[in-house]
Amino acid sequence: MLKLGILGHPLSHSRSPEMQAAGLRYLGLSGSYNKFEVKQEDFDTELQQIFSSVNGLNVTIPYKEKILNYLNMRDKLVERIGAANTLLISEGMIKGYNTDYQGFADSLGGINLKNKRIALLGAGGAARAIIIALEDMEPTEVDIYVRNFQKYDGHLPVVSKTNLKLHLYDENSDLSQADLVVNCTPMGQGRLADEMPINSAQMSSLKDTAIVYDLIYSDTSFLRSARSRGLKTIDGSRMLILQGAHSLRIWTGKPVTEKLIEAMSSAFYAATT
Ligand code: NAP
């Protein structure tokens, strides 16, 4: 029986247990998937105990980067991104993977970003995986807008194939040339539910062909505002489900199929409503 779980804090919002349980059921495998909600101050003391009780873990906010110090092996993508969200634990060895990369790439559903311009709003853990996924899609330029330039200057993932530019975001930041705009901030979620990552003038200035993507798992005011302008939108639920399906592939060795994604999606939406 597979023993799986998610490590993070807070975890009350996480729908991964329902989603992964549905995935295991679909694959005909017996297993459990528990929440390990660990406070920062308890991290070191609780981690070894958790490692010894599971075969696999998802890792989420705020531990995707900190966990690197506890790995015996790192997948190539983990090295490039500088963060892990999936651990495979076998015979005391802990190997880290990053399935946010594949979740984001697959969530685009074949949209071709070659020679396109991308704007990322925010540069935290999720943005790091997206920067590397984008690098492999060969856009012309990736512009990253942050509220604290010093914090990120010199601390973004190293890329060789992409023209990556960091900007201090302000109300006049020019997004009018972007083909894809991705919100990688929590603006639109929880206590920031009423906030938008860009202002209405910037929304009006977007190209008519621009695609607006919000990593938040629900329909945000950012996405609603983009749709009312007639723009194509994508919410974060698809990426979340796909990254989960790829984690399950790593733990079980079973391929990600449309039927598996369907089973995990149904459980995710049922748990969300
Ligand atoms: P994170 O590491 O905390 O990074 C958040 C980024 O947003 C940072 O650059 C932060 O800037 C910026 N930010 C935070 N509050 C802001 C504000 N009020 N105004 C402007 N910028 C702000 O978080 P993360 O893990 O990257 O997650 C970001 C979002 O993506 C969250 O909503 C999360 O739920 C979502 N997410 C979705 C998926 C998915 O599968 N769909 C996966 C991962 C994350 P500072 O550094 O200056 O604070």
Specify the pLDDT at position 272. 87
DSSP H stretches of helix in 64-207: 76-81, 100-107, 125-135, 149-152, 200-205
CB-CB contact of 125 with 61 (8 Å): yes
Check if 82 has its Cβ closer than 6 Å to any atom of ligand 1: no
Tell me the CA–centroid distance for residue 49 and ligand 1, in Å. 29
Q: Whose CA is nearest to atom 2 of ligand 1?
A: 124
**Cα radius of gyration rounded to whole Å, the chain:** 19
Tens digit of pLDDT at every position of the chain (273 positions): 999 999 999 999 899 999 999 999 999 999 999 999 999 999 999 999 999 999 999 999 999 999 999 999 999 999 999 999 999 999 989 999 999 999 999 999 999 999 999 999 999 989 999 999 999 999 999 999 999 999 999 999 999 888 999 999 999 999 999 999 999 999 999 899 999 999 999 999 999 999 999 999 999 999 999 999 999 999 999 999 999 999 999 999 999 999 999 999 999 999 987
Residue 18 has a pLDDT of: 98
CB 231 within 8 A of CB 200: no
Which atom of ligand 1 sits closest to the CA of residue 148?
47
Active site residues: 64
Q: Does residue 244 have its Cβ closer than 6 Å to ligand 1? A: no
Residue 20 contacts residue 241 (beta carbons within 8 Å): no
Phi-psi region of 269 (alpha: psi -120 to 50; beta: other; left: phi over 0): alpha
Q: What is the DSSP string of 189-226?
A: SGGGTT--SS-HHHHHHS-TT-EEEE-SSS--HHHHHH
Nearest CA to ligand 1 atom 23: 124
